[in-house]
Structure formats: structure tokens, C-alpha cells
Amino acid sequence: MSQFLNDFVVGIDVSSEFSVVAMIAPSGELIRKPFRIDHNPAGFNKLLEILKKEEERLKRKPIYFVESTGIFHLPLFFFLRSNDLKGFVLNPLCVHSTKNFDIRKVKNDNKDAEAIARLAKYQDVKFSMMPEPQILALRMMVREYYSRCDMLTEMKNRLCTDLYLLFPGFLDVFSNPFGKTALAVLSAYPSPKDVLNADPQQLLELISKSGRKGEKWSAKKALQLLETAQLSLSMPNEFALLDSKIRFHLDGIDSFKKCLNAIESQLHTIIDSSDFPDTARKHIELLDQMPGVGFISAVTLIAEINDFSLFKSPKAFTAFFGIDPSVNQSGKFTGDRNRISKRGTRIGRRVLFTMALSSIRTTRNGDSINPILRDYYLKKCVSKKKKVALIAVMHKLLHYIFAVLRDLKPFEFRSPQEHQAWRNNKLQTAPKHVA
């Protein structure tokens, strides 16, 4: 049963320019027809005035609920919260589940607002608190970071496509076509003709200065470039007019890299500010110390998690990231090929995937980043597909993260045997409850 059954509940269906509001009295009756408010000072004050009047009449403070709509619900939410009103955010999946309550196929903003109010009032639905402004700002900056990363990846893919056509063979010269040396050569000599017309000594000095791997390596790469450029002359001369596309892509790559560096610097500024929550800062520091976890990954996880105290168990923590298995069962049938639910934070799953890959890899010297997780992954690969084994590693990582944030202690390596011994010792020394 809902904890808001006897409360004055307000459901707000939010769009970009206006919202529709439905109010339900403690008795369960609709107070008035759902009404519209515009997203401007006059509209916000109109809603506040109506809510205050009903609060005086009902002798109950309103509790408002909004459906998460990206950023559109934030101005109204913070306006009401600044006026000492309590509110919560509902997951769109929960709201959309009510669309078939009425047999008639009717969908409009009025019905949606009323559905939000009735869902919150009568159903024991999952809801979330709005993050603190500092955490919300951190989350928005982190998501902008990944958006720019995707744009950078797209720009790199476009550059590769053009190089296949305009400079065939260039991608085979350097192991990393987007490394410092490759980009420096392309910036100075964006076409095969430019490479052939270049001063060999200047080309060699450019590669040597950028690569810093010795004269022998530099001479080898310069020779490969010249041979590749000679073969590329078989392409039609008209394609030379497209050399400017390579310069456009190089400028774009450089611009996105500078943008990512600026965002990372801003993240440090937000975290180091005096009004940033101390608990969140401590959580970021602890996660950043874990092997396979970098600063951006740690910040992303804390920004997406928001309030860790809301998670009472590793199982709930795993479900938040959508790594829990889905269930497919009906009658005597029970599905045995169930995928992960993929509910919850998409950005969080993306970061976990990256962390899992980092945890199972080895360094150039052959040392494992996380030897325990790497052994676990290799054992899983014997009977499972690689991606399934990687999901299992992500699941393990979430349990590690949960323990680190719960105990506020740095991560430490423990083999399964050591962990079991530690667990048995803890159970033996735990105080026993006398009935």
C-alpha cells in the first residue's frame, strides 16, 4: 500500500513549454479538472498560489510528483522545492505501465497528469529524490563528457573513411592512426602528394620529434609513408580536391579533445568546491583508488548513484545498474536464456563495461591489473561466451564497489579463499542475539 494514501497528492505532466497539473484530495477525489501552467514566472506563481489555497482548505501540505523528462521538469521542481514543498520524481517506465488501466484508448496531457497522481497515491511505486544541485551539476557535466566522446568517435570514424579513399595505406603505417605522431603527420601533409613533395629531412624530423622512439623507428616510418604515398598516386586526380575534408576532420578532433579536457577540469572544480558534499567527495576518492577505475569513471558512478544510502543490499545496487537477470516465467514454463534487464542508468552500465575491460587486461609487462578478476573471467570463458563472462565481471565489480562505499574503506585484493576465511571469522566474532 502506498505511503501517500492519505496525503494531498499532485501529479504534474511536464512538457518543454508547459505542464498540466492534477490534484487529488486525501479522500481520493479529483479536486478540480487538470489545468495547464506555462513555464514562466507567471505560470509557476499561478501553480504556487493554487497549491497554497488548497493547502489551507485541506489542512494538508501538497506532495507533488513529476515524471522524469530529461531537463524539462527541473525548473518547476526546484521552484516548488524552494517554496518549502515536498516532491519526488517517478520513472517513466512506472508511469507508462498505467496507460492500459482504462479500457478506452484515450491519451492526453490531462489523463497523464491524473495518472501520475493516482499512481503515486494508490500504488507502492518506486520513486526517487532529486539529487543535490552539486551532484546534479556533476551528472550533467559527466553526461556532456560522454556525449562529446561519442562525437569524437564519430569524427575519427569519418577520418578513417576518408583516409581509405584519399590516402590508401596510411592507416597501416602507424599502429594508432589517432596517436600524436599520426595526427602530426596528417596535419602537416594531409595528402599523398604533400608527402611526396615534402623535404625528406623535415618529414623525418617531424616523425622523430612526435614519436620519440629513436631515429631507426622514425626512418622506417618515413620510408613506409613515402612508399604508401607513391601507391596512392593511382587514385583519380579529382580526389585531390577532397584533401580539405581531412583538415576539417583534424580540426574537429582537436576541438573535441580540448573540449573533453575542459570538461574534466570543470569536474575537478565542482568536486573541489567548498559546497560539494563531503560524503560524495570521499566516495569518488575511494573509487578512484580501485585498480581499473579512473577519475572519470569514479565521478560518473557517484553522479549516477546520487545517494548511496538508499541501497540496502548489493542486489538492489545491481538492479539499479540493470545488470540483474530478467525473469521469464509463465505457468510451467521457465525461460533459461534470460538477458540482463538493462533497466536503470545507461551511462552507469557503459562505465561498468569499460571498468570490466580495464580490470581483466594486462600491462605491457604481462602483469594483471586485477589478477583475481582476470582469473575469474578466464574461468568463466571456459563455459560461457566472452561477453557473458564480461557481464559476470561487471556483476563482481558492483559488489566490490558496494562494499567499498558501504564500509568507506579502500579496496584491497582478496582471493576467494581469503575472503571466505574473513567472512567466517566475522560471523564467529559477531555478537549473538539472545531471545
Q: What pLDDT digit, counting tens, does each position of 207-265 carry?
A: 988 888 888 988 998 998 988 888 877 766 666 667 788 889 999 999 999 999 999 99
391 pLDDT exceeds 60?
yes
DSSP of 116-150, one letter per residue?
HHHHHHHS---EEPPPPHHHHHHHHHHHHHHHHHH
pLDDT in tens, 4-17: 888 999 999 998 89
Contact 185, 202 (CB under 8 A): no
* Banded model confidence at residue 126, pLDDT cuts 50, 70, 90: confident
pLDDT at res. 435: 45
Mean pLDDT over each residue of the chain, to the nearest integer: 87
Helical segments of 123-237, H only? 133-166, 170-173, 180-188, 192-197, 200-211, 215-232
4: which residues sit within 8 A by CB, 6+ positions away? Answer: 63, 120, 121
Q: What percent of the chain has pLDDT over 70?
A: 94
> What's the total number of domains in the chain?
3
Q: pLDDT tens-digit profile of 176-198?
A: 888 899 999 999 988 888 888 88
Residue 145 lies in a domain: yes
* Residue 176 and residue 107 share a domain: no
* Model pLDDT, residue 336: 67
Highest mean pLDDT: which range of 219-233, 392-406, 407-421? 392-406
- Would the pLDDT of 133 be above 80? yes
- Same structural domain for residues 293 and 425? yes
Beta strands 86-90 and 62-67 are parallel
Same structural domain, 61 and 150: no
pLDDT reading at 96 higher than 80: no
Instruction: Tell me what pLDDT residue 355 has.
Output: 94
Q: C-alpha cell of 402?
A: 558496494
CATH number, domain with residue 59:
3.30.420.40
142 and 253: one domain?
yes
Q: How confident is the model at residue 431 (pLDDT cuts 50, 70, 90)?
A: low
Is 97 in contact with 40 (CB distance < 8 Å)?
no
- Predicted pLDDT of residue 433: 54
Q: What confidence category does residue 432 fall into, taking pLDDT thresholds of 50, 70 and 90? A: low
Please check whether residue 148 is in contact with residue 141, taking contact to mean a CB–CB distance below 8 angstroms.
Answer: no
The answer to whether 307 and 139 have CB atoms below 8 angstroms apart is no
Residue 272 within any structural domain of the chain: no
- Residue 148 to residue 263: CA distance in whole angstroms: 10
What CA–CA distance (Å, rounded) separates 26 from 9?
Answer: 7
How far is Cα 275 from Cα 164, in angstroms, rounded to an integer? 51
The reply to whether 226 and 247 lie within a common domain is yes
In a domain, 2, yes or no: no
What's the pLDDT at 100?
A: 59
Mean pLDDT value across residues 62-87: 88
Question: Does residue 282 belong to any structural domain of this protein?
Answer: yes
Q: Specify whether 361 is located in the same domain as 332.
A: yes
Q: Which residue has the higher pLDDT, 342 or 313?
A: 313
Band (pLDDT 50/70/90 cuts) for residue 397 is very high
Q: For residue 430, what pLDDT band results from cuts at 50, 70 and 90?
A: low
Long-range contacts of 242-245 (CB under 8 A, 24+ apart): 242/162, 242/165, 242/166, 243/166, 243/190, 243/191, 243/194, 245/162, 245/166
Q: Are 344 and 382 in contact (CB under 8 A)?
A: no
User: Which domain does 320 fall in, by range?
Assistant: 277-429
pLDDT at 330: 72
pLDDT at 340: 81
Among the ranges given (22-26, 296-300, 427-431), the one the predictor scored with the smallest mean pLDDT? 427-431
Does the residue 312 lie in any domain? yes
Has residue 310 been placed in a domain? yes
Q: Is residue 268 part of a domain?
A: no
Q: Quick one: 327 and 196 in the same domain?
A: no
Instruction: State the pTM of this model.
Output: 0.84
Question: What integer is the mean pLDDT of 263-285?
Answer: 94
Q: Looking at the domain assignment, is residue 224 inside a domain?
A: yes
Q: How many CB atoms lie within 10 A of CB 380?
A: 17
**Structure confidence at residue 101 (pLDDT):** 62
Do residues 165 and 205 both lie within one domain? yes
Each residue's pLDDT tens digit, 44-71: 999 999 999 999 999 999 999 988 877 8
52 shares its domain with 32:
yes
